[in-house]
A and B are shown apart, each in its own frame.
Chain A
Amino acid sequence: MTQVLICHVDELPVGERKIVELEGKSIGVFNIEGKYYAASNTCPHRGGPVCTGRVGNELLADFVGVGLRVKEHFGPNLVLACPWHGWEFNMETGVHLGDPQISLPVYTVTVQDKELFIEI
């Protein structure tokens, strides 16, 4: 593991994302409500630019009673959807929502002296 400098924190304000090339890999770095995330920008499905995709909360559903409409709601987990085909990944773990055997590589982001690093 090596620590790689990404940018100064001011260059990645809340709600923004940055796609960087590191050691030949395209990686997305996100600032979502003050928390930083990083993931491979190559979807394990067909190689789509997954980190340019929609970030949202995971859609969940509860079986609230026999004969009742299933109650759909958003859970706390953030998910990233590849814009090519909709494959969705947990932002924290990179695990595909539909199949735990599939995952997107994710990286730990650290802040040192107001500079962002990822471990790669």
Chain B
Amino acid sequence: MGKYKYRVVDSDAHYMEGLDQLVDYFPEPWKTRMIGGSGKDKASIAGIYPISTGDRSIFGRIQRDEFTEMQRNAGGFVPEIIPDVMEFLGVDAINMLSQKMLTFSRIKGDDERATLLANAYTDYMLDKVVDPSEGIYTMMPIPFQEPKEAVELIDRVSHEKGIIGGCFVTAGPEPPFGNRKYDPIYEAAEANNLPVVFHAGGGGIDEFVSAGYEKFIETHVLGFLMANQSQITSLVVQGIPEKFPNLKIVFQESGVFWIPLMMHRLDTEYLKRQSEAPLLTKKPSEYIKEMYFGVQPLEIPDELSYLRQVIDMIGGADRLLYASDYPHWDYDPPSAITDLSILSEDEKKRILSGTANEVFGI
């Protein structure tokens, strides 16, 4: 136990890897393609990843002095920094997800990149970063663009104690994740008892649905939310929980108020259009209440009872996982939960570590 009197598991923090850390894990010809040459002929590895736009630090308004200090002491964002991050946050275990994978869904035509990067990143994390004895875990990014290769990765590394889930980035997959194309991935995850985590991400927010938004606050408020809304709709309507009833499904990084919205909107339409979701044997909201949700960025309304109602509507604290999202601009420390007067002690324990134990076994 650190700063808090509770055991705290951070279900979603970010590993801010540089691509140079991954290069040794690329097979040829990618390795040479990415780092070959010298001087003006030196290839750039930056181009392998899509990037999103917007100034997340609000032009210097958000500072991470402690994070800068951690990086200075460790010599950059290297594995040795993680214990410092955990101490700063006050967490006993942490799930570190690749920073760069968050734009993963923007990889479309050149889908070999997705498989390459998912494998390289997973191998790098297993080799250099994860350490279950220290509470450090990760998720493999799922290269859903190539389902067969995604299944191979799941089958290859799911047994590793340091791998606690398979992560799908929800911004921009085409077709969306309820499509039968992805069935083999869910089948493999279910067979390996690997939770699947649907994580909102930056890739695509600026062009998601409608281009032309001018400020980051607009694209972030909408993009992360709409990415998760689109995927939960697809998963539920296409009956993924019916096809794979033992699959553990987690959604992360859109707060919690969106969940009852989707439950009630889907139910309302389902009562009218049930014949378009014929695999379902119960209302959409009942499937959603069997899923799990990372709470960050947690909305704190002036009237706290509204948050209490949201938690009750979605099935209670049992559905919720504490997640920091550190070091991102809108991270939540564990006090986002420990300070909440609307939660009982048992509910705080459940959100801070109990649900993570149930879902991820950590």
Contacts and interface: CB of A to CB of B under 8 A. Distances in A.
A8 interface: no
A70 B187 contact: no
B271 A99 contact: yes
B275 A59 contact: yes
A67 interface: yes
A78 to B, nearest CB: 14
B271 A96 contact: yes
Nearest to A100: B282
Contact of B278 (A72, A86, A96, A99): A72
Contacts of A97: 274-275
A88 B275 contact: yes
A68 interface: yes
A85 B273 CA distance: 9
Contact of B274 (A63, A66, A69, A98): A98
Interface residues of B, number: 21
Contacts of A68: 180, 183
Interface in A53-77: 59-61, 63, 66-70, 72
A66 B184 contact: yes
Interface in B264-288: 267, 270-275, 278-280, 283
Contacts of A99: 267, 271, 283
Nearest to A86: B272
B239 interface: yes
B64 interface: no
Given A61-B279, A63-B279, A98-B283, A70 B274 contact: no
A70 B270 contact: no
A67 B148 CA distance: 11
A86 B273 contact: yes
Contacts of B181: 67
Nearest to A88: B274
Contacts of B31: none
B33 interface: no
A102 B271 CA distance: 10
B272 A67 contact: no
Contacts of B184: 66-67
A72 B278 CA distance: 8
Interface in B233-271: 238-239, 242-243, 267, 270-271
Contacts of A70: 180, 238-239, 278-279
Given A72-B278, A87-B272, A63 B187 contact: no
Interface of A: 45, 59-61, 63, 66-70, 72, 85-88, 96-99, 102
Interface of B: 147, 180-181, 183-184, 187, 238-239, 242-243, 267, 270-275, 278-280, 283
Given A68-B180, A70-B238, A98-B274, 12 more contacts: A60-B278, A63-B242, A66-B187, A67-B180, A67-B181, A67-B184, A70-B278, A86-B272, A86-B273, A98-B280, A98-B283, A99-B283
Sorted nearest first, the 9 A-B pairs with minimum C-beta distance are A61-B278, A98-B274, A86-B272, A59-B275, A66-B183, A67-B183, A98-B271, A97-B274, A85-B272
